[in-house]
Structure 1
Amino acid sequence: LVVRLPLYIHLIHSHIHTFSFSYILGPMLSYFNFALVSASINIFFFIAFLFQPESPYYYLMRNDVDNASKALSWLLKADEDETDKELELMRKSVEEDRQKKAGWKDLVATPTDRKALLIRFLIGFVRQFCGIIPISCYSTQTLKAAGDSFIISPDNCTIIMGIMMVI
C-alpha cells in the first residue's frame, strides 16, 4: 500500500495537477520565472527523495531481508510483530512474482488486451496529431491577438480551456 498508493495517485491524477499548475501559473509568470518555479519543484523532490529509503520490495527482490525489515519498520512506524507479519506477506508476494514469468507477449495475449492496447495507442496518436498541444501552448497569445472583445481576459479563457480539457 505504501508503494502502490502514491503510484496510483500519480498515474490516475497526474494530468489534473499538470494542467492546473501550468494553466493557472503560466499566464501570471514570465517564461523565465515559470521555468524557475517548475524546476524548483523538481529540485525539491530530488533532494527529498535522497532521504527516502528503498522500498522493502526492492530489498526482498534482492534477497536482503534485514534491510527490507528496516525499511518496512521505518515506513509503517509499527511494532515488530506487525512489521514481521507484513514482511512475510511481502515475501510471499515476491516469491509469486518470481514464479510468474511475464513477458511482452502477455500484453497482447488475449483479444481484450489487444483491444485495450489498440485503444490506448489510438488515443495517444489522436492527442499528438490533432493539434491541441500547440493550440493550448499559444492560446493566450492567440486570444490577445484576436482583440479585446472578450468578456473575460485571455488569461482566464486559457485557464477555463485547461479546466475543460481535464473534464
Structure 2
Amino acid sequence: MILSSSCVSIPKSSVQLSEEIRKETEEMHKLNITLVQQLFEERRNTINNFIHNKYVPKVVDNYRKLLPEELDYKEQLPSVIKNIIPVILRKKDSLQSLLENQQNQIIGNLNANYEDYNRASYVLHDLITSASKLEAEKRKTMQSIQNLTGQEIDVDKIEKSIVNFHHTIEQNLKVIDTSKKQ
C-alpha cells in the first residue's frame, strides 16, 4: 500500500473548531427542545383559554336551551354544571393528549436527529484529530530526516518513483504471465 504525502494540511485549530462546533450544536439542540416545549405550553394555554372562555359558556348555553323555561336556573344550575363538567374535561383531556403526543413526537425526532449528528460529528472530530496528529508527526519526521541528512527530501518525488516502479513491476508480471500461457 502506498500512502500519498501530498495530503491537505490540517491545522491544529481545526480540532478545536470541531470541538467548539459540537458544543454549539449541543446548545442549539437544547434551545430547540426548549422552544418546542414553550410552543406546546402556549398551545396548552390556548386550549385552556378556549375551554374556559368559549367552550364552557357555549355548552352551558346549549344545556340551558334544552331545559324547560319554567325551571329555576339558579337552583338547578349547580346540578346542570355537575353533569356537563365530565364532558368538558374529556374534551379538554382529549385535546391536551393530542398536543402531548405531537410534542413527544417532535422532541423524539429532534433527539434522534441530534444523536445521528452527534455520532457523525464525533467520528469527524476523531478523523480531524488523527489527521492533525499525523500531519504533526510527518513534519517532525521530515525535520529529523533533514537534520540527519542535511538536506530536504522531496517526498512527492520519492512517491512518484515508487508508484512508477510498482507500475513497471505489474507490467512485467503481466508480460511474464502472458508468455507462460502461450
Q: What TM-score results when the alignment is normalised by the length of structure 2?
A: 0.24
Comparing both chains, which one has the higher relative contact order based on Cα–Cα distances under 8 Å and sequence gaps of 6 or more? 2
Greater Rg by CA? 2
